[in-house]
Amino acid sequence: MGLRLLFLAAVAIAAPASAVLPSEPVPNVAKIPVPWAAHWIVIHDFAFGSLIDSKFSLVDADSRTFLGMVSAGQFATVNLASTRREIYVGETYHSRGSRGERTDLVTVYDMENLAIVAEIEIPPRRANIVVNKSNTALLDDETRLIVLNFNPATSVSVIDTVGHKFIDEIAIPGCAMVYAAGKRRFFTLCGDGSLLSIELDEGGAAAARTRSEPFIDIDADPLSEKAARIGGTWYFISYAGAVQPIDVEPTPKPTQRWWLANPDERAAAWRPAGWHWTAAHPDGRLFVSMAPNGYQGSHKDPAAEVWVFDAQKQSRLLRIPLATAGLSIEVTSDSAPRLLVANVEGKVDVYDATKGELLHTIAEVGETPYMIHRTN
């Protein structure tokens, strides 16, 4: 029995006069205009103080309007399709909060309602790693999602994002993190400093594996797994600030390295810094967050600046001093791009990515908003 009827019966309701506000319909649930605008971003709240209750918030980086949110389980991931109005959230639940049966899911949301379209059960060993974009990879035609597993043996789950079903699990022993490299190809980095490239057959099983020579000196100067991609090239950055491009065609392979900082800057120990320290614009601009006075172990310290490069010319275009020290960065992909910086105050600063000016700050977007995803 709804109490509301009871309440209404107990209170006389006047007939609305002309100036009187009308009664309003219930239920009433907002929708989101589609397609999403170029400057709408998804902010990932890791929720470290309540890890089992994380969230993704959709915010307009221009107006700072909060458009909606998706709740997620612990150590969640998100991938946004551009060819289909869907979002794929990787998440882990226990049936009784912090205990009980574990369920791992890729949960599919539509962009107009942020409502669940499908819950795809996957093997209950998806990697539970602090927010990291390379925990998952949406392959280039967006019909396959690769989800890293870690227990601590490593494998990947292959998901059919069109059919909304789990296809297969592929072992990647000794390797971890996944990077899209084609319609049916991804690669992963390995503990010996090599990369492993995997081609899927049409069904989703591994059709071919190609292992590179070791090219990362993990002990001396490892490449961070927090990379960014421009067209056919992934850009990885080493702790010391070397850029390692990896071309994905015809088979992923490392090409010539170059340095972010000049010798003087390297002497001042300007190094990449922050959590997710790379972002890339499709026009060829590579963004890397940096800090001076680096030391052994400084690689997760917050960043003081964002440096902007022409990745092709390997030349720096701009230094953007951050108004507030930064943790993670992202850039929108349009022609008037915004640089988003998740800052150390738990807010997101919005900069003009071309001029480097701070435009405004988005606040109240979760307890520990550690990562930003563009949506276009």
Partner 1 sequence: MRWLDRIVERSLRDVARRSSRRSFLSLVGASIVGGATLPLLPVARASTAAPATGERAVPAQSTGNPGDPGDPTQCDYWRYCGIDGFLCSCCGGTQNACPPGTEMSPLTWVGTCENPADGLRYIISYNDCCGKSSCGRCLCNRNEEDKPVYRPHANNDINWCMGTQSHVYNCSTAVILGTAN
CA angle, residues 277, 345, 223, in degrees to nearest 5: 15
Q: Which stretch binds a second copy (CB under 8 A): 48-56, 205-213, 285-293, 319-327?
A: 48-56
Neighbours of 52 (CB within 10 A): 15
- Tell me which of partner 1, a second copy, none is bound by residue 33, counting a contact when its beta carbon lies within the kind-specific cut-off of 5 to 8 angstroms: none
Distance CA 257, CA 201 (A): 32
DSSP string, 181-193: -SSSEEEEEETTS
- Tell me which of partner 1, a second copy, none is bound by residue 329, counting a contact when its beta carbon lies within the kind-specific cut-off of 5 to 8 angstroms: none
Residues 106 and 123 sit within 8 Å (Cβ to Cβ): no
Write each residue from 49 to 78 as x if it is in contact with a second copy (CB under 8 A), else as -, in one continuous string. Answer: xx-xx-----------------xxx-----
- Tell me which of partner 1, a second copy, none is bound by residue 283, counting a contact when its beta carbon lies within the kind-specific cut-off of 5 to 8 angstroms: none
Q: At its nearest, how many Å lie between partner 1 and the CB of residue 120?
A: 18
User: If binding is defined by CB under 8 A, does position 150 make contact with a second copy?
Assistant: no
- Closest to 220 in 3D by CA, of 199, 194, 191, 240: 240
- In Å, what is the CA distance from 275 to each residue of 43, 131, 321, 339, 370? 14, 9, 17, 15, 8
- Burial class of 241 by CB neighbour count within 10 A (0 to 12, 13 to 18, 19+): buried
Cβ nearer to partner 1, comparing 216 with 248? 216
Cβ nearer to a second copy, comparing 150 with 258? 150
- Tell me which of a second copy, partner 1, none is bound by residue 336, counting a contact when its beta carbon lies within the kind-specific cut-off of 5 to 8 angstroms: none
Interface with a second copy (CB under 8 A), residue from 38, 41, 42, 47: 47
Could you tell me how far CA 33 lies from the centroid of its own chain? 22
- Tell me which of partner 1, a second copy, none is bound by residue 58, counting a contact when its beta carbon lies within the kind-specific cut-off of 5 to 8 angstroms: partner 1
Give residues in contact with a second copy (CB under 8 A).
1, 3, 47, 49-50, 52-53, 71-73, 91, 93, 95-100, 103, 105, 116, 119, 152-153, 367
